Amino acid sequence: MATTSPSASAALHHQFLESPRENGTNDFEAEIVDVEESLPNLSSFVENKEENNEEDQKSTTNKRYMPLLLINYVLLFVGSFSSSLMSKYYFIHKGASKWVSTWVQCLGFPILLFPIFLPVVLKYKKRKPFEGFSKKMLLLSVLVGIMLGFNNLLVSWGVAYLPVSTSSLLLSTQLVFTLILSSLIVKQKITFTNLNCVILITVTSIILALDSSHEKPAGLTNKEYYIGFTCTIGAGFLFALYLPVMEKIYQKVNCYEMVMEMQLIMEIAATVLATVGMACDGGFSDMKKEAESVFDKGTAAYWVTILSTVVTWQCTFMGTAGMVFLTSSLTGGICSTALLSINVLGGVVVYKDHFGGYKAVSTVLCIWGFCSYVFGMYIKTKKKKIVRKNSSSTGSSTELIPRNSDGI
């Protein structure tokens, strides 16, 4: 078997991720053989990569991989939990504009300017922001940003009409859509582990839907309730489309900086959409009125609520994008959806949402589904380490093993 230098094998691994096999990325032992057989043809490619000193930050062997993964999960966890509570706070205290609630989900894009430009200003990084950013990537980012803008609007309608716990758990249906769409778009393999997780988390939503007749907040008409219900399911579908589409786009991206840059463009596009909606539908005058006289906690609390919602949503979206980049659309979807069950507990603790037997059972199922998935990933990672160990003891590189369908 051929042996490669670590940098050469890292570059080969990178090339793998940029050109995945038609039949998915699971048969990794076969892929190792493929790469090793094609080694001579790849030597010039490897040299180029070494000259450019490029590193694939999606590679699990990259030293920045684990810290980045952790940072993104924390962003997603803190962002998801606090943004769902803050959005509900806005509506509970007489905030009523769905456009304002949509606007704040993307308005935090200037925050991304700091991690994008600061390392260059401080001369910490050589790569200039937007270096290698093609016109196609720009166009794709704008289109996905517009899709995300519509998703945000649907989420706002859902949160406006439904209790935080119900809207969070209804959004869990996005996982089934994610599994189907990611198997179509990025050839995600459907395994026992991921199917089990998706079924458990979906049963969670069904139980909640059955229980939802007791959940209608006072003063809300049946029509409004069903609008909220439908919008939340619609948001789940759009989000499930967004995840594998992003994974497909990230197959051409190898650095996290570019993920942040794409996120910036997407959020700007979503903000333009929301701003047009605000301007056409009286959102700006509603906002002024709400701040001055409608919000029952006063003007200062209104602006603090808006500002913190802006920041927390930005954390959620950056965390989600990072998870998709570093793992896969399905893992990203599972992590964000499992966090929704934590949001249910947040709604119950902070807003005293009703928490009966149905909600307890669905929360347990949701956590069980998530834990079984994480355990499945752990087992796969262990198996992968054994394959690596075996291949290194026979003299082949340890870094030639590409990520499997779960992104590990």
Told to check if 236 binds ligand GUN by CB under 6 A, we report: yes
Q: Least distance (Å) from ligand GUN to the CB of residue 168?
A: 9
| Amino acid (1-letter code) at residue 396 | S
CA-CA distance, 323 to 316, in Å (whole number)? 11
Nearer to ligand GUN (CB atom), residue 16 or residue 242: 242
Q: What is the DSSP string of 246-278?
A: HHHHHTT---HHHHHHHHHHHHHHHHHHHHHHH
Positive/negative CA dihedral, 28, 34, 36, 40: negative
CB 336 within 8 A of CB 320: yes
Site string for ligand GUN, 26-65 (x = CB under 6 A): ----------------------------------------
Told to check if 316 binds ligand GUN by CB under 6 A, we report: yes
| Amino acid (1-letter code) at residue 279 | A
Told to check if 235 binds ligand GUN by CB under 6 A, we report: yes
Residue 367 C-alpha from the chain's centroid? 18
CB 160 within 8 A of CB 91: yes
Q: Of these, 162, 171, 207, 291, which contacts ligand GUN (CB under 6 A)? A: 171
Nearer to ligand GUN (CB atom), residue 28 or residue 373: 373
Q: Which stretch binds ligand GUN (CB under 6 A): 16-24, 231-239, 254-262, 386-394?
A: 231-239
Told to check if 318 binds ligand GUN by CB under 6 A, we report: no
| Amino acid (1-letter code) at residue 9 | S
Told to check if 321 binds ligand GUN by CB under 6 A, we report: no
Q: Which stretch binds ligand GUN (CB under 6 A): 199-207, 234-242, 283-291, 355-363?
A: 234-242
Q: Least distance (Å) from ligand GUN to the CB of residue 358?
A: 21
- Element at 376 (helix H, strand E): helix 357-393
Q: Of these, 167, 336, 396, 404, which contacts ligand GUN (CB under 6 A)? A: 336
Nearer to ligand GUN (CB atom), residue 151 or residue 327: 151
Tokens of 108: 């935090």
Q: Of these, 72, 151, 341, 405, which contacts ligand GUN (CB under 6 A)? A: 151
Task: Give the length of the chain.
Answer: 408
CB 155 within 8 A of CB 232: yes
- Pick the closest to residue 105 from 282, 306, 297 (CA basis): 306
How many residues lie near ligand GUN (CB under 6 A)?
Answer: 9
Q: Least distance (Å) from ligand GUN to the CB of residue 246?
A: 13
Q: Least distance (Å) from ligand GUN to the CB of residue 357?
A: 25
CB 322 within 8 A of CB 136: no
CA-CA distance, 16 to 104, in Å (whole number)? 38
Site for ligand GUN in 261-290 (CB under 6 A): none
Tokens of 179: 């599994």
SS3 62: coil
Site string for ligand GUN, 174-213 (x = CB under 6 A): x---------------------------------------
Told to check if 167 binds ligand GUN by CB under 6 A, we report: no
DSSP strand E in 154-288: where?
A: none
Q: Which stretch binds ligand GUN (CB under 6 A): 112-120, 205-213, 232-240, 398-406?
A: 232-240
Told to check if 103 binds ligand GUN by CB under 6 A, we report: no
Q: Of these, 239, 358, 370, 373, which contacts ligand GUN (CB under 6 A)? A: 239
Q: Least distance (Å) from ligand GUN to the CB of residue 125?
A: 28
Residue indicated by tokens 């006063």: 298
Q: Is 361 exposed, middle or buried (0-12, 13-18, 19+ CB in 10 A)?
A: middle
Site for ligand GUN, rule CB under 6 A: 151, 155, 171, 174, 235-236, 239, 316, 336
